[in-house]
Every structure is written in structure tokens, then in C-alpha cells.
């Protein structure tokens, strides 16, 4: 499998392109949700509407990211598993998934989150979430420079 | 001064030399470039999908554009600045790279597509602004935009594999 990916030199760039496109959907969706929590986007719309609109555009592309990411690991194992940038990326990813799961929980169970949870709490969560996704994108690029 | 002379001058400017020679500068600028591109493509897709009538249908097109596009423009500005810096570090090679040339052409087409939509396609926007269903002109503009930006990402990624 690893050989196949290495022999066909169009596979890695193509899979990386799909990976970046999926990241685009995730990053922009997270941006919209987090801006809404910070009061900087669609303040006149209920938080629930924004979550319902954008959360699927985090979860579904995330599956694409895991699949394309796996192809990249199989194709170039030395470049990934022991790579510090890759390890950092995976750690940040786990944390980012936790923040996304919190948003999913808010969507399902707590329509009044922003008013009851307090604006400061919402803003803190949004800032952490956004920084995590930025960190993931940066760490992803740095994988290429650590092998 | 010819184009190649200009490119040679550009890649010998102190900034270009610094980006080329300090190992850490290029990846950092590249990281911001990827972040910016990702946000440009992601946010513009939100508008494109609305123009296609596929998502955000409960939000008026003009309202969505007003809310989302400022972030697209801000990200595009960062992408252009970081992209110019990366380009300067190896100007002659980039300028003669097929995928780089394709990417620039695609950006020009994206700009034309946007201009045509704003000048012609959006002329009667008040009639369908709030409607979930959008007219053919809007769907065309949104579809073309989506395809172009996908192609921009693909050609951008290929530059890194063909610049030798």
C-alpha cells in the first residue's frame, strides 16, 4: 500500500489538496460559530441556528480529513508518526474535537447557553476553539519540515 | 526593465534573501498563507453554497454576504501579502512554474466572475434576496466560484511538488 502511494506521484498531492479543502470547510465553520459566540457574526440570529448550520460542516469534513490523513501516513510513515509536528497536531486535534463536541451538546440540550453560561465563558470557549484550529493548520504545515 | 530582470531584482531584495536563507522564515510565512487561503476558500464557499441555493437558505443573500465577506477579504489580504513574500524568495522559479501561472490565472478568473455577478447577476437581487431558491445567474456565479477556488487550492498544492 505504502509502495503504491509512493510509486504514483500524483496521489500525495491530490490527497493533500482534498485534505486542505476539507480543512477549509472545518476552519470556516468553526470561525462562524466562534465569531457568533464572540458576538461578531449574525448577532441577530439564534445560536442554535448557527450551530445547526455549521456543525455538520465540521463533523463530515473531519471524516474526510481522517481518511486523507491516513493515506498520507501510510504513504510516508517516517514523515508522520514520530514527527513532533504531527504529534502536536494530533494532540490539538483531540482538544478541538472536545470543543466541537461541547458545541454539539449545546445545540442538543442547552438553547440558552450564551445567556446562562455568561458571555465571558462563551468568549473563552470560542477563543480556545479558534486557536486550536489555527494550531492544527500550522502544525500540519510544519510536518513537512521535520523529517 | 524586462520581466526576468524585475524577477531577478525582486529575489535579490533583502527580504527575499532573508526568506530564502533563514530556514524558519519560509515555513512560518507559509503557515499563515495556508491559514489565510483556507479561510478565504471556506468563507467564500458559504456564500457560494447560498448562491447555489444549497445552504443558509433561511438567511437573505445580501445579509449573508455582508456578514461573511469582510472575513473573506481580510483573509485574502493576508494570503496576498504572504503569497507575495513567498513568491519573492524564488521569483524566477515561481514565475516559470506551470501551476503557479495556473493559480494566478484562476485568481484573475475568480475576480472576473465576481465582477460579472455584481454588475449583472445581482442586478435584480431584491427580487430573490430572501428566497431560498436562487436564479440561474446566481447559481452560475456561485458554482463557478466554488470550482475556481477548489482549483486554486489544487494548483497551489502542486506548486510545492513541481518547484525544483
The DSSP secondary-structure symbol of B121 reads I
Sign of torsion over alpha carbons B54, B59, B64, B67: negative
Please give the residue range of the domain that contains residue A17.
2-145
Query: Do the chains contact at B153 and A17, CB–CB below 8 Å?
Result: yes
The DSSP secondary-structure symbol of B130 reads S
Q: What is the pLDDT of residues B15-46, one digit of tens each?
A: 999 999 998 999 999 999 999 999 999 999 99
pLDDT at B23: 85
Contacts of A90 (CB under 8 A, 6+ apart): none
Provide the shortest C-alpha distance from residue A139 to chain B (in Å). 8
Q: Which residues of B touch A6 (CB under 8 A)?
A: none
Asked if pLDDT for residue A42 goes beyond 80, the answer is yes
pLDDT at A109: 81
Cα A111 to Cα A103: distance, rounded to the nearest angstrom: 11
Query: Do the chains contact at B45 and A31, CB–CB below 8 Å?
Result: no
Is residue B29 within 8 Å of residue B85, measured between CB atoms?
yes
Average pLDDT over residues A30-50: 92
Average pLDDT over residues B82-88: 97
Q: How confident is the model at residue B73 (pLDDT cuts 50, 70, 90)?
A: very high
Query: Do the chains contact at B161 and A9, CB–CB below 8 Å?
Result: yes
Q: Cell for B152? A: 486554486
Cα B35 to Cα A23: distance, rounded to the nearest angstrom: 9
Average pLDDT over residues B68-80: 97
Provide the shortest C-alpha distance from residue A118 to chain B (in Å). 24
Provide the shortest C-alpha distance from residue A115 to chain B (in Å). 22
In 3D, which of B119, B149, B138 has the Cα closest to residue B64? B138
The A residues from 58 to 87 touching B (CB cutoff 8 Å) are none
Number of domains in chain B: 1
Asked if pLDDT for residue B123 goes beyond 60, the answer is yes
Asked if the ipTM is above 0.90, the reply is yes
Of A28, A53, A142, the CB nearest to B31: A142
pLDDT at A21: 98
pLDDT at A44: 87
pLDDT at A63: 97
pLDDT at A111: 59
Provide the shortest C-alpha distance from residue A125 to chain B (in Å). 20
Number of domains in chain A: 1
Q: B102-105: which pairs have CB atoms within 8 A and are 24 or more residues apart?
A: B102/B151, B102/B155, B103/B152, B103/B155, B103/B156, B103/B159
Helical axes B136-162 vs A11-37, angle rounded to 10°: 120
Is residue B89 within 8 Å of residue B11, measured between CB atoms?
yes
Query: Do the chains contact at A31 and B58, CB–CB below 8 Å?
Result: no
Q: How far is CA A21 from the centre of its chain?
A: 12
pLDDT at B122: 84
Query: Do the chains contact at B34 and A20, CB–CB below 8 Å?
Result: yes
Average pLDDT over residues B118-137: 88
Cα B156 to Cα B150: distance, rounded to the nearest angstrom: 10
- Residue B96 CB neighbour total at 10 angstroms: 12
Q: What DSSP line would sit under A16-82, residue for residue? A: HHHHHHHHHHHHHHHHHHHHHHTT-S-TTS-HHHHHHHHTHHHHHHHHHHHHHHHHHHHH-HHHHTT
Asked if pLDDT for residue B13 goes beyond 70, the answer is yes
Q: Is A16 on the interface with B (CB under 8 A)?
A: yes
Q: What is the pLDDT of residues B103-112, one digit of tens each?
A: 999 999 999 9
Global confidence as pTM: 0.94
Query: Do the chains contact at A53 and B153, CB–CB below 8 Å?
Result: no
Query: Do the chains contact at A145 and B71, CB–CB below 8 Å?
Result: no
Asked if pLDDT for residue B8 goes beyond 90, the answer is yes
pLDDT at A147: 67
Please give the residue range of the domain that contains residue B21.
3-162
Q: What is the pLDDT of residues A43-87, one digit of tens each?
A: 888 889 999 999 999 999 999 999 999 999 998 887 788 899 999
Q: What is the pLDDT of residues A92-126, one digit of tens each?
A: 999 999 999 999 998 888 656 655 556 788 899 99
Of A20, A45, A138, the CB nearest to B153: A20
Q: How confident is the model at residue B2 (pLDDT cuts 50, 70, 90)?
A: confident
Amino acid at each position: 500500500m505504502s509502495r503504491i502511494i509512493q510509486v504514483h506521484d500524483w496521489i500525495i498531492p491530490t490527497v493533500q489538496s482534498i485534505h486542505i479543502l476539507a480543512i477549509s470547510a472545518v476552519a470556516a465553520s468553526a470561525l462562524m460559530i466562534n465569531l457568533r459566540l464572540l458576538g461578531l457574526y449574525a448577532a441577530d440570529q439564534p445560536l442554535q441556528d448557527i450551530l445547526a448550520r455549521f456543525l455538520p460542516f465540521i463533523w463530515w469534513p473531519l471524516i474526510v480529513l481522517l481518511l486523507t490523513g491516513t493515506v498520507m501516513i501510510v504513504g510516508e510513515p517516517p514523515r508522520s508518526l514520530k514527527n513532533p509536528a504531527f504529534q502536536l497536531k494530533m494532540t490539538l486535534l483531540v482538544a478541538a474535537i472536545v470543543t466541537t463536541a461541547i458545541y454539539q451538546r449545546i445545540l442538543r440540550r442547552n438553547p440558552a447557553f450564551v445567556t446562562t453560561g455568561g458571555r465571558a465563558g462563551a468568549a473563552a470557549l470560542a477563543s480556545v476553539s479558534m486557536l486550536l484550529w489555527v494550531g492544527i493548520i500550522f502544525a500540519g504545515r510544519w510536518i513537512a519540515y521535520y523529517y | 526593465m524586462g520581466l526576468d530582470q524585475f524577477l531577478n531584482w525582486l529575489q535579490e531584495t533583502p527580504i527575499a534573501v532573508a526568506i530564502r536563507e533563514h530556514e524558519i522564515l519560509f515555513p512560518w510565512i507559509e503557515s499563515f498563507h495556508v491559514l489565510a487561503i483556507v479561510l478565504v476558500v471556506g468563507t467564500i464557499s458559504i456564500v457560494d453554497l447560498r448562491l447555489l441555493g444549497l445552504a443558509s437558505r433561511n438567511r437573505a443573500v445580501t445579509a449573508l454576504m455582508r456578514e461573511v465577506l469582510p472575513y473573506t477579504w481580510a483573509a485574502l489580504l493576508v494570503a496576498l501579502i504572504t503569497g507575495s513574500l513567498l513568491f519573492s524568495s524564488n521569483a524566477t522559479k515561481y514565475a516559470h512554474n506551470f501551476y503557479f501561472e495556473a493559480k494566478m490565472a484562476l485568481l484573475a478568473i475568480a475576480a472576473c466572475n465576481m465582477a460579472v455577478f455584481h454588475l449583472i447577476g445581482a442586478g435584480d437581487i431584491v427580487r430573490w434576496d430572501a428566497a431560498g431558491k436562487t436564479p440561474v445567474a446566481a447559481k452560475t456565479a456561485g458554482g463557478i466560484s466554488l470550482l475556481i477556488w477548489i482549483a486554486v487550492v489544487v494548483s497551489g498544492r502542486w506548486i510545492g511538488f513541481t518547484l525544483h
